[in-house]
Amino acid sequence: MPVAAAAPATARIRGLAALRGTFGVSNPREPRSLFGEILDWMLAPLLLLWPMSLVITWLVAQTIANRPYDRELGERVQTLARLATTAPPADMSDPDAARSALERAALVLLSTEEEEQLFFQVLGRRGELLAGDSRLAVPELDPGTRVTSGAVRFRDETLGEEPVRVAYLWLAADGTPGASVQAGDSDALVQVAETLGKRSRLATEIVKGVILPQFVILPVSVVLIWFALSRGFSPLLRLQQTIRDRESHDLSPIDERDVPLEVAPLVRGINELLQRLDKSMGAQRHFLADAAHQLKTPLAGLRTQAELAAREIDGGRADLGALRHSLKQISLSSQRAAHMVNQLLAMARAEDHGLAIRRQPVDLAAVVRNVVRDFVPRALEQRIDLGYEGPPTGTPALRLMGEAVLLGELVRNLIDNALAYTPAGGSVTARVLPDPFGQVVVLQVEDNGPGIPAAEREQVFQPFYRALGTQVDGSGLGLAIVQEVAQRHDAEVTVGDAQAPGAGKTPGALFTVRFPLQTEAG
């Protein structure tokens, strides 16, 4: 039998909030309580089933209480029927005397010490009242309905204002029991009615016997449910305490062996996040250490040249040529430091995945032409032939979705890298190639410098890496920025030889970036 009870106040408050969330009326600012929600879903069915259990219990109790009393009432109506058919008539010429004799015999037969009232009725073959109470109604049956002679039937009726239980049977004209007769057609009717007091008392006792123990079980059930939920949530509390007790620098994985099976995916996800954070923080620490090391060199040069010039002036040995040389070295060191800072800022901007790219239609040819134009003075100073090859600006096939500032950084670092490694008299070419199939846009930057050995082509995109055997001054961040910007635009960067080596010539380097074409809606 289901039981139900009101939950304790705190759990009920949390549970009501959970139910409001279930029906779409929760306050988004209030956190949902999983404990209260589960408690509600466990107790709510009990609360809903409680009135149903009362009704069902009462109906079952009524059925159980009727069985013994119906059996007793049926025996009485059968005994009265036998008495009516076997008793010798006292005086057939005096019907009232015969009726009185039958009633006295019936009253003796139906007498009882209980408080219940009994009523009986005997009707003759023509429907005349032979004995008993005339207020008992004749059972209503459909015309032509056939019944078994002597078979006891039951019905509920109201006699006056008193509800009664009636047992009745039909008797065949010849008195043969078990014969099939048509009700009301040359057959007699015997009825015995009984008030329902003792039946109601028995049903009430049955209901009390079933319902009252539930009130004893009820608080025990609530306590057990509360204890079971608390015990079930204890691993979560231990996991919470374990995470809370950790040091901020401890990114080791959480032990999954002591957590419930249902929580294991969550812990596994947290461990994966911790692993990514550890890797990211390690890369940031490495990057900061390399950046500090790279910035230390130009800053140290600045300090050395400044101290040298100060000593020359303080010692009275100031030479205009020496001072000019020191100032030039200071200028170069400051330029290198400024370039390093700009590269670090560009690298940070390219690596900032928390900042979503503001994708807009970008004309790649226009971006490349503008960057090439900016590097022309430097190329002339280094006596390098810098050129652009590709369709004119405004070609629709060269428009891709991206961020113009980051794309400009990508092109600028590729050309800067090519100019840095190309000797005087060499050439650097930036070209934009449309895809005849309309799938990609290709950017190439080619030089005839020393080239990059195949073994180092994967490493040149790492921050602060420089090819072996070169004395080029640089930050080592240019190609790393190119890789980051390309990844932000879902592009692919490859490096290869610019031309086949031969006749003592170096192969040069060819950087290729393939941008996937995207519509403005994509």
Helix (H) or strand (E) holding 167: strand 162-171
Q: Quick check: do 264-351 and 360-516 share a fold? A: no
Give the class (CATH, top level) of 360-516.
Answer: alpha beta
Q: Measuring CA to CA, how many Å separate 331 from each of 100, 305, 440, 486?
A: 143, 10, 43, 33
Where does 4-33 have alpha helices with state H? 9-22
8 Å CB contact between 158 and 227: no
Tokens of 25: 């009326």
3-class DSSP assignment, residue 2: coil
CA 304 vs. chain centroid, Å, equals: 63
List the 153-159 sheet strands across, edge first. 129-132, 118-123, 188-195, 162-171, 153-159
Q: What is the pLDDT of residue 512?
A: 92
3-class DSSP assignment, residue 469: coil
Tokens of 434: 């449309």
Residue 59 has pLDDT above 50, yes or no: yes
- Distance from C-alpha of 178 to C-alpha of 378, rounded to nearest angstrom: 126
333-354 average pLDDT score: 62
168-188 average pLDDT score: 66
Residue 198 has pLDDT above 70, yes or no: yes
* 506-516 residue pLDDT tens: 678 899 999 98
- Distance from C-alpha of 159 to C-alpha of 144, rounded to nearest angstrom: 27
* 417-439 residue pLDDT tens: 888 888 888 899 999 988 777 78
Which range scores top for mean pLDDT: 110-124, 307-321, 375-389, 398-412?
375-389
Q: What is the pLDDT of residue 2?
A: 36
8 Å CB contact between 205 and 95: no
* 15-27 residue pLDDT tens: 434 434 443 444 5
- Distance from C-alpha of 445 to C-alpha of 412, rounded to nearest angstrom: 10
8 Å CB contact between 418 and 479: no
The pTM of the full predicted model, rounded to 2 decimals, is 0.45
Burial environment of residue 325 by CB neighbours within 10 A (0 to 12, 13 to 18, 19 or more): middle
**Identity of residue 252:** S
- Helices 404-421 and 320-351: crossing angle in degrees, nearest 10, is 140
Give the class (CATH, top level) of 264-351.
Answer: mainly alpha
Tokens of 491: 């592009």
8 Å CB contact between 416 and 375: yes
More confident residue, 63 or 477: 63
Residue 503 has pLDDT above 50, yes or no: no
Q: Measuring CA to CA, how many Å separate 415 from each of 265, 320, 384, 419?
A: 48, 37, 12, 6
Of 142, 140, 133, whose CA–CA distance to 155 is shortest?
Answer: 140
More confident residue, 144 or 519: 144
**Angle formed at CA 83 by CA 77 and CA 88, multiple of 5 degrees:** 160
Instruction: Tell me the percentage of the chain whose pLDDT exceeds 70.
Output: 70
Q: What is the pLDDT of residue 295?
A: 64
Domain boundaries, the chain: 1-245, 264-351, 360-516
